[in-house]
Structure 1
Amino acid sequence: MFRLFEKLVPPYPEQVPQDLPKGFFAFLWACTAGLRGYLLLLAVLAAGLNAYEAWLFSVLGRIVDWLTRTHPGQLWQEQRTTVLAFAAILLASTALLAGYTTLKHQTLSINFTLRLRWNFHRMMLGQSIGFYSDEFAGRITTKVMQTGLAVRELLFTFIEIVIGLGVYFVAILGLTAGFDSRLMLPFLAWMVLYGLSVWYFVPRLGRIGKKQADARALMTGRITDAYTNISTVKLFSHTNREAGFARQAMTEFMNTGYRQMRLVSSLNIVNHLVTVFLILASCGYALALWNAGEVGPGAVAAVTAMALRISGMGTNIMWEMASLFENIGTIQDGIATLTRPQLVVDRPAAPALHVTRGEVRFEHVRFGYGKVPPVIDDFSLVIRPGEKVGLIGRSGAGKSTLVNLLLRFYDVEGGRILIDGQEIAGVTQDSLRACIGMVTQDTSLLHRSVRDNIAYGRPTATEEEMVRAAKRAQAHEFIATLGDPQGRKGYDAHVGERGVKLSGGQRQRVAIARVMLKDAPILLLDEATSALDSEVEAAIQASLQELMQGKTVIAIAHRLSTIAALDRLVVLDQGRIVEEGDHRTLLARGGLYARLWAHQSGGFLGESTDEEEAEHA
């Protein structure tokens, strides 16, 4: 039976969610898509359970009245039908409770939260590179995890407290009126006092909850950032500095926690005073009416039981209301991140890119990361099918920006880029990047096995194809020697976060193997052999030459010797082409390329002097 309820709500819907609305209630409404019928049924069942619980106190009062009016031995004969009806209702309540608890705990509790996190995660994966440049990875993770849980808890609290207990109090008022309408007065007075305390404390707890959620996300983000970049932290001997950086965020979190706990202590004191008033007022008034002969002992028993029950519930209700507003604060904090629109999106019904020749064409491209002047301005370049082109220029010339635009990590601000006559902005991003292989200078590996990292290039590849790619990248030999603390060996060994357990050269060779396995028709090399020693680089260069056969290649290198043999070299300066041709032609011309070549130190581009810049200008 439980499995049946667990399968009612699919936790991983296939449809990718669209941009979420920024308004709070609109955001909540969007989060309940596909679940609204179940949430409505849960609210109905909660209302029924609370009405049933209030009814039990009325039954207690009736039983006391029967006992005072009925001679011992005559109760069953006189009240048989009523007693059987009460017993039937008590038994039926089990079905009501079973429906409520299975719907809440089996159908919604796990699947609702997972569904939201799954949707939020896919939306974050669809964000552009620029989005991640402005955010801590740990902070984004916290928003995804916290907000999904907070939405579920807010809706559950609303159903149980606002709807369920709302019905409970209405039922109590009706049942006390059944004994004597004047007995409602202490409960009405309590509701006013309780409402005033909620009005004062709960919004303040909600606001501090929002600040605390943001402080928690900041604290998590800073700590995660330090762990992610632990090599840099160690290299510069900044463990104490990073501890202090995290301490600042922890102190902010601590201060919000202190303010929250002050409110909590005040809330508990006020709540106790209000419930003491209810017990004294309701019980005292009921006894006064009984003493005057205007109500029976059953009314006193029922009202006393109701007051004691509310007294026991009062603190819990207040905490639930505080939790409600705290979750509101958490959701409001998460909305700011989760509702940011995706800047790079596929057009509706965009087709897949089909590469038959591999021609790459930049037409009057302009891009500047939203700044003026742009990094790339009126840039035009045609790379013929199968041509090997090197992009050369000092840091900031726009080489990496062109590569990012070709991969559509950013959309151009002007002009267009075409592959085989197809504008890349009009095809799906996945199909575009599936046709491009890239090896970067900053090699990043997933914290998974070596096999998983290489197979990432083509998950459908066989084991033989994966191993062959590793051998071609000169990686198979060192992979065979790998091991991890869990005892996994060779291709099963895990490489650590971002591949930290491997050397720079080993990471680079795994990355090259991954691209070799992908075997895309267009190849991008951004300092592809920068982390390799000379002996290994020579072997890798041979593999890269084999990999480049029949492909369109765009290579970036500060070490000019690594790309001097390419078909054509394009020299960039301030986002524009200033020279192009093969190595010999550019050297003979005596321009910027020749100066860069002459000033290389150890095979790398040198920095120009002010005198040379003036001469070049």
Structure 2
Amino acid sequence: MSKETNNQRQGPGFGPGGRGFGPGGMGMPVQKAKDFKGTLKRLIGYLKPHTFQLLAVLVTAIISTIFAIVSPKIMGKATTKLFEGLMKKLSGVPGAKINFDYIGQIILLLIGLYILSAIFSYIQQYIMAGVAQKTVYNLRKEVLDKLNRLPLKYFDSRTHGEILSRAVNDVDNISTTLQQSLTQLITSVVTIIGVIVMMLTISPLMTLIVVVTLPLSFVATASIAKKSQTFFKGQQKSLGQLNGHVEEMYTGHKVVKVFGHEKKSIEKFEEINEQLYQSGWKAQFVSGMIMPLMSFINNIGYVLVSVAGGILVTKRAIEIGDIQAFIQYARQFAQPITQTAMIANVIQSTIASAERVFEILDEAEEVPEAIAVKEILEPKGEVKFDHVSFGYKENEPLIGDMNIDVKPGQRVAIVGPTGAGKTTLINLLMRFYEINSGKILIDGIDTRDLKREHLRSLFGMVLQDTWLFNSTIRDNIAYGREGATEEEIVAAAKASNADHFIRTLPEGYDTILNEEASNISQGQKQLLTIARAILANPAILILDEATSSVDTRTEIQIQRAMNRLMQGRTSFIIAHRLSTIRDADLILVMNNGSVIEKGTHVELLEKGGFYADLYNSQFTSRNSKKNVG
């Protein structure tokens, strides 16, 4: 989703993200909001605290634009004075000369006006930059706070790319519009009104000529835009397909080569690339006709204005300098109208972005914390599931009437086929999901009576998918507990058998892990996550067995580190290799969301039930592989 959004933003055209008039910009498809008025009203609500600054922006924009608008009229006076003096000299009038003092005064006045216009424009941009950034800062903060309050099911039901696109790209789109397009819109509207007034003061007839030629521009532009939009949609579709294909092929290039699909991959690329080429050049060619056509129509208007102006000058109805001023106004008149139309497209896209952001802010949050919260000061690690029922959807129960009693310090293994509910059990334990009925107790206290932050601080996790961030090894281990000393970090690394390999690295504990932590092995990553859990010193451990992708020697190291970590702590082990949980105090066998068997390894084998079948199937398949070897 995020890729697609980025592709749309990077399309052809002028202005931020490829939006705007001119070649490529006119026909770009614009994302539209479902509730334009409601979303616009809500977005304006974020600007209300800055009403005074926005009024200042409006005033400075008006003053700046007025100074810029009156300049051509004043310049026309200088042209008229220059023309009159020149004509008198050519006519042989005695003592005739050009009044350069008057012209010089006008030039100085114009310089002053342009400087004042620039100063007020700077003030306008400066104030608006502060308003825009403060508004977007508050909006980003709201989104972040909201994401922290959303339940896990929200993230489970959406791709990371979609959430990132809303939280980053859409908020950036709002920021750009507030920063640039809003001030442009104010300036454009003021310019249109001011230019019409100034043109009417010079000649209502010539003003009528300019106004009449405008609809021709709009009709021509609209017809071309409609045609080019079809091609732009095709271009964006092909571009998205091409990006997806290229990313897929490069990500899995080894697999493509192994199965000999290079030719097929190249053929598909060439097919999509040809589609992109066809729709791309048509879109660019058709939309590229807009500016020449507009220039042609505008030039016809200038010709008519010049002819009408010449006739009026000969009849002494207007001065020669007024024609020059009027032509400048006519040029100024077309530009803000074009900008206003462009900004209308941008605002549509921005309101659509705002709507997507507001959808996040309107999502149902986690169940509020209990009013009278409790706290476990000295956790023992006793866990009890008391008649717990749960389902991801209403009327579709996954877990029904589950009862589990775990004593402090016990090692509890959770086994079962894929989709049995092993991870769901852990999510309920840490209150990532809310149970439908029953109770989950820790040391006799209902988890719903504990603050989520406090509840989760009781747990330490070592997962199959290791998560390490782009920083030093020291920082990654220290992530387990705030304010950990160097001695504690090193002690945790030694306890997890990670200290030796860390010291063999050139930078030791100062070695910076890259974004994917691919500069160390999978086994080394796992040892670091165990060190982090040891440093956190939790009362309850959750271990997702993570030795399947490492060699035997590293597996033994990890197993030893995990055994050391589990000593004296209640541990929940999601087991994939049943041979690793023989020593567990309690084994919970899950299937279809229910605990169908429980007991020790020996007890469950003696029963000859589901667990025994599962264990024997793994043991038999492993033996057969050895014999084949």
TM-based fold match above 0.5: yes
Equivalent runs, 1:79-478 vs 2, <5 Å: 89-104=113-128, 107=130, 120=143, 129-133=152-156, 135-138=158-161, 140-196=163-219, 257=280, 260-310=283-333, 313=335, 318=338, 321-322=341-342, 325=345, 328-329=348-349, 332=352, 335-336=355-356, 339-340=359-360, 342=363, 345=366, 347=368, 354-355=375-376, 356-370=379-393, 373-420=396-443, 423-424=446-447, 428-478=451-501
Q: 1:27 to 1:481 in 2, by over 3 A?
A: farther
Q: Which whole-Å CA distance do the structure 2 matches of 1:233 and 1:336 have between them?
A: 37
Query: What are the superposed Cα offsets for residues 384-410 of structure 1, whole Å, 9 maximum, x if unpaired?
Result: 344332212233221122112223343
Query: What are the superposed Cα offsets for residues 324-382 of structure 1, whole Å, 9 maximum, x if unpaired?
Result: 52563376368447724545525268787733343333344344443875432332323
- Kindly report the root-mean-square deviation, in angstroms, between the aligned alpha carbons of the 2 structures: 4.5
Q: 1:96 to 1:239 in 2, by over 3 A?
A: farther
Q: Amino acid of the residue matched to residue 97 of structure 1?
A: S
TM-score (norm 2): 0.76
Gaps of 5+ in 1: 1-19, 484-488, 607-617
2:583 is aligned, of 565, 588, 593, to 565
Q: Does 1:45 align with 2:60?
A: yes
Q: Which whole-Å CA distance do the structure 2 matches of 1:547 and 1:333 have between them?
A: 47
Contact 2:170 2:356 in 1 (8 A): no
Q: 1:88 to 1:204 in 2, by over 3 A?
A: same
1:62 is aligned, of 77, 81, 84, to 77
Q: 501-510 vs 66-75, which deviates more?
A: 66-75
Distance apart, 1:276 and its partner CA: 1.5
Q: Which whole-Å CA distance do the structure 2 matches of 1:235 and 1:157 have between them?
A: 51
The match for 2:572 is 554
Q: 1:295 to 1:33 in 2, by over 3 A?
A: closer
Q: Secondary structure at the match of 2:461?
A: strand
Q: 436-445 vs 140-149, which deviates more?
A: 140-149
Q: 239-248 vs 416-425, which deviates more?
A: 239-248
Distance apart, 1:472 and its partner CA: 1.1
Query: What are the superposed Cα offsets for residues 417-473 of structure 1, whole Å, 9 maximum, x if unpaired?
Result: 343455545655444333211111232333433233222222422222222212111
The match for 2:12 is none
Q: 1:221 to 1:282 in 2, by over 3 A?
A: same
The match for 1:513 is 531
Q: Does 1:491 align with 2:509?
A: yes
Q: Does 1:579 align with 2:597?
A: yes
Distance apart, 1:578 and its partner CA: 2.1
Give the percent of matched residue pairs that are identical in Structure 1 and Structure 2. Answer: 27
Q: Which whole-Å CA distance do the structure 2 matches of 1:57 and 1:278 have between them?
A: 19
Q: How many equivalent pairs are there?
A: 577
Q: Secondary structure at the match of 1:437?
A: strand
Q: Secondary structure at the match of 1:468?
A: helix
Distance apart, 1:173 and its partner CA: 1.4
Q: Amino acid of the residue matched to residue 575 of structure 1?
A: G
Contact 2:412 2:588 in 1 (8 A): yes
The match for 1:502 is 520
The match for 2:7 is none
The match for 2:22 is none
Q: Secondary structure at the match of 1:480?
A: helix
Contact 1:144 1:334 in 2 (8 A): no
Q: 1:175 to 1:26 in 2, by over 3 A?
A: closer
Contact 2:523 2:555 in 1 (8 A): no
Q: Amino acid of the residue matched to residue 325 of structure 2?
A: A
Distance apart, 1:171 and its partner CA: 0.9
Q: Which whole-Å CA distance do the structure 1 matches of 2:593 and 2:287 have between them?
A: 59
Q: Which whole-Å CA distance do the structure 1 matches of 2:415 and 2:390 have between them?
A: 18
Contact 1:28 1:151 in 2 (8 A): no
Q: Which whole-Å CA distance do the structure 2 matches of 1:437 and 1:179 have between them?
A: 80
Distance apart, 1:593 and its partner CA: 3.0
Q: Amino acid of the residue matched to residue 58 of structure 1?
A: K
Distance apart, 1:505 and its partner CA: 1.6
Distance apart, 1:168 and its partner CA: 0.8
Task: Choose between structure 1 and 2 for higher RCO, CA contacts under 8 A separated by at least 6 residues.
Answer: 2
Q: Amino acid of the residue matched to residue 347 of structure 1?
A: P
Q: Which whole-Å CA distance do the structure 2 matches of 1:159 and 1:178 have between them?
A: 29
Contact 2:81 2:103 in 1 (8 A): no
Q: Which whole-Å CA distance do the structure 1 matches of 2:435 and 2:276 have between them?
A: 41
Distance apart, 1:120 and its partner CA: 4.9
Q: Secondary structure at the match of 1:601?
A: helix
Q: Secondary structure at the match of 2:189?
A: helix
Distance apart, 1:502 and its partner CA: 2.8
Distance apart, 1:36 and its partner CA: 5.8
Q: Amino acid of the residue matched to residue 601 of structure 1?
A: F
Contact 1:205 1:322 in 2 (8 A): no
Q: Secondary structure at the match of 1:381?
A: strand
Contact 2:133 2:175 in 1 (8 A): no
Distance apart, 1:39 and its partner CA: 4.7
Distance apart, 1:55 and its partner CA: 1.0
Distance apart, 1:303 and its partner CA: 0.6
Q: Which whole-Å CA distance do the structure 1 matches of 2:234 and 2:276 have between them?
A: 8
Contact 2:151 2:365 in 1 (8 A): yes
Q: Amino acid of the residue matched to residue 168 of structure 1?
A: T
Q: Amino acid of the residue matched to residue 554 of structure 1?
A: F
Distance apart, 1:310 and its partner CA: 4.6
Q: Secondary structure at the match of 2:393?
A: coil
Contact 1:212 1:253 in 2 (8 A): yes
Q: 1:101 to 1:157 in 2, by over 3 A?
A: closer
Q: 1:506 to 1:577 in 2, by over 3 A?
A: same
Q: Which whole-Å CA distance do the structure 1 matches of 2:172 and 2:457 have between them?
A: 35
Q: Which whole-Å CA distance do the structure 2 matches of 1:259 and 1:268 have between them?
A: 16
Q: Which whole-Å CA distance do the structure 2 matches of 1:257 and 1:296 have between them?
A: 50
Contact 1:521 1:552 in 2 (8 A): yes
Equivalent runs, 1:29-40 vs 2, <5 Å: 29=44, 32=47, 37-40=52-55
Q: Which whole-Å CA distance do the structure 1 matches of 2:418 and 2:58 have between them?
A: 61
The match for 1:4 is none
The match for 2:90 is none
